[in-house]
């Protein structure tokens, strides 16, 4: 048999109540004895994906993991933005080098302009009202995926 302490969200073997592990003064006042179903579902079990151990009315339950804070989401989005800018840097440099050497360019003038607009959108992304919503990220030009292996 096992007790559940909802305050600390921890499990306590019943033997610990009498074997000296806990004194009477130290025993959690709100500890509840789990029934067999609760014990099988929660004690020594890993939570399901996206869940953590919680407590409702003093009983153990699986609850949703808390979402990321705004700061955590913003940090992740800035990292994504920086990686995207880095991922396209070679193509900007290549195009400009090809122009400077008066060679045929890998990109058309329209593609290069589209790439520059995308890179500007990446720079502006953290100031956008939609930031850091990943669904509202700047969208890369379609032609980029075809050029990724050229580096």
Nearest to 117 by CA among 139, 98, 95: 139
* pLDDT for residue 147: 82
| Residue 119 belongs to domain spanning | 70-150
Q: Output Rg (C-alpha) for the chain, integer angstroms.
A: 28
Q: What residues contact 85, with CB distance under 8 A and at least 6 apart?
A: 119, 122, 123
Where among 64, 88, 114 does a domain terminate?
A: 64
Same domain, 52 and 9: yes
Q: What is the pLDDT along the chain (151 residues), one digit of tens a residue?
A: 999 999 999 999 999 998 989 988 899 999 999 999 999 999 999 999 999 999 999 999 999 999 889 999 999 999 999 999 999 999 999 999 999 999 999 999 999 999 999 999 999 999 999 999 999 999 999 999 888 777 6
pTM of the model: 0.62
Where among 64, 88, 115 does a domain terminate?
A: 64
* pLDDT for residue 83: 96
Same domain, 51 and 112: no
Same domain, 46 and 100: no
* pLDDT for residue 73: 95
Same domain, 95 and 137: yes
* pLDDT for residue 86: 95
Same domain, 41 and 79: no
Same domain, 93 and 130: yes
| Residue 3: CB atoms within 10 Å | 21
How many domains would you assign to the chain?
A: 2
Same domain, 113 and 79: yes
Where among 23, 45, 64 does a domain terminate?
A: 64
Same domain, 26 and 76: no
């Amino acid at each position: 048999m096992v007790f559940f302490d909802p305050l600390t969200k921890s499990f306590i073997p019943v033997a610990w109540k009498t074997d000296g592990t806990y004194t009477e003064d130290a025993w959690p006042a709100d500890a509840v004895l789990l029934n067999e179903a609760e014990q099988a579902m929660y004690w020594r079990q890993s939570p399901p994906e996206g869940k953590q151990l919680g407590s409702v009315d003093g009983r153990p339950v699986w609850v949703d993991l808390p979402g990321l804070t705004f700061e955590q989401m913003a940090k992740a989005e800035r990292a994504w933005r920086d990686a995207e800018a880095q991922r396209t840097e070679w193509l900007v440099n290549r195009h400009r080098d090809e122009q400077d050497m008066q060679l045929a360019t890998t990109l058309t003038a329209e593609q290069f302009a589209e790439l520059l607009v995308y890179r500007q959108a990446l720079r502006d992304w953290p100031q956008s009202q939609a930031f850091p919503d990943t669904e509202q990220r700047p969208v890369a030009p379609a032609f980029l995926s075809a050029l990724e292996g050229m580096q």
